[in-house]
């Protein structure tokens, strides 16, 4: 089994989901006494969030790279960033590390492509929805048409992630609002919704939606286990 290096704490709510998914999948694959060999370095999300809001992306790229190098030096054989947004740092990180880094947008793209969907809604932080780093991979590598919510809805999606889900707070009204956004996209022809923030699966599940749900947290974790056990 290859050792997985996790960059966690962005937020710890989703990092615990990763840990559970990784270990559960390994146990299912190898037998119920097996568990995942992994290393986690967890950051202080308050500091990460502040730097994101201030646009200090170069500082964050350097921080993510330093963590990846520490995980590599500690014996990790693949890196997982347990957050969609911080995949902004991947190009910088790849210049310094010598082990694979499993990109969550590529994993999401493969999941959409496998199911044959061509038009999807992307939900995530405002950085993930508005910047090109994530959408470009889906469009250019997989030919997927991406819908994002309007600005008002993007603001609500982002606020719920940072002020509620990041703290483990689940509100019925927030779930209702998210589902209304998904319904709007469905009317525009969306065949699936990508939960492009690793906290959103805390709020939205596949049984809540009439269209398909791509849970990036689960897809990312399962792809890592497949790599580790190959």
CATH code of the domain in which 209 resides? 3.40.50.1860
- 210 and 225: one domain? no
- 93 and 143: one domain? no
- 78 and 179: one domain? no
Between helices 216-229 and 104-115, what is the axis angle to 10°?
100
| Structure tokens, 226 | 């497949």
pLDDT of res. 152: 97
- 88 and 125: one domain? no
pLDDT means over runs of 10, the chain (230 residues): 97 94 97 95 96 96 98 98 96 97 97 96 96 95 97 97 94 97 97 95 93 96 97
38, 4 contact by CB (below 8 A): yes
- 137 and 74: one domain? no
- 128 and 202: one domain? yes
- Residue 49 lies in domain: 4-102+219-229
- 90 and 144: one domain? no
- Cβ within 8 Å of residue 146, ≥6 positions away: 120, 121, 122, 135, 138, 139
DSSP 37-105: -EEEEE--HHHHHHHHHTT-HHHHHHHHHHHHHHHHHTT-SEEEESSSGGGGGHHHHHTT--S-B--HH
What are the C-alpha distances in Å from 90 to residues 16, 93, 97, 209, 224? 22, 5, 10, 31, 16
| Structure tokens, 70 | 């520490």
pLDDT of res. 155: 97
8-state DSSP, 210: S
- 129 and 147: one domain? yes
pLDDT of res. 32: 84
Q: Rounded to two decimals, what is the model's pTM?
A: 0.93
Into how many domains does the chain fold?
2
């Amino acid at each position: 089994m290859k050792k997985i290096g996790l960059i966690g704490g962005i937020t710890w709510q989703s990092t615990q989901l990763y840990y559970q998914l990784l270990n559960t999948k390994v146990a299912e694959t190898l037998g119920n006494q097996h568990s995942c060999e992994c290393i986690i370095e967890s950051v202080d999300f308050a500091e990460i969030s502040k730097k994101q809001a201030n646009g200090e992306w170069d500082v964050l790229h350097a921080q993510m790279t330093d963590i990846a190098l520490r995980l590599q030096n500690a014996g990790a054989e693949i890196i997982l960033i347990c957050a969609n947004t911080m995949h902004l740092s991947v190009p910088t990180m790849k210049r310094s590390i010598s082990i694979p880094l499993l990109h969550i947008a590529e994993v999401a793209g493969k999941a959409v492509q496998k199911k044959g969907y061509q038009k999807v809604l992307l939900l995530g932080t405002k950085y993930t929805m508005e910047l090109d780093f994530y959408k470009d991979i889906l469009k250019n590598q997989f030919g997927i048409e991406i819908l994002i919510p309007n600005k008002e809805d993007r603001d609500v999606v982002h606020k719920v992630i940072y002020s509620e889900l990041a703290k483990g707070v689940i509100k019925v009204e927030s779930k209702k609002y998210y589902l209304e956004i998904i319904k709007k996209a469905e009317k525009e022809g969306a065949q699936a919704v990508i939960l492009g923030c690793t906290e959103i699966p805390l709020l939205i599940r596949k049984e809540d939606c009439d269209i398909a749900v791509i849970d990036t947290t689960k897809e990312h974790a399962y792809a890592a286990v497949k790599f580790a056990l190959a």
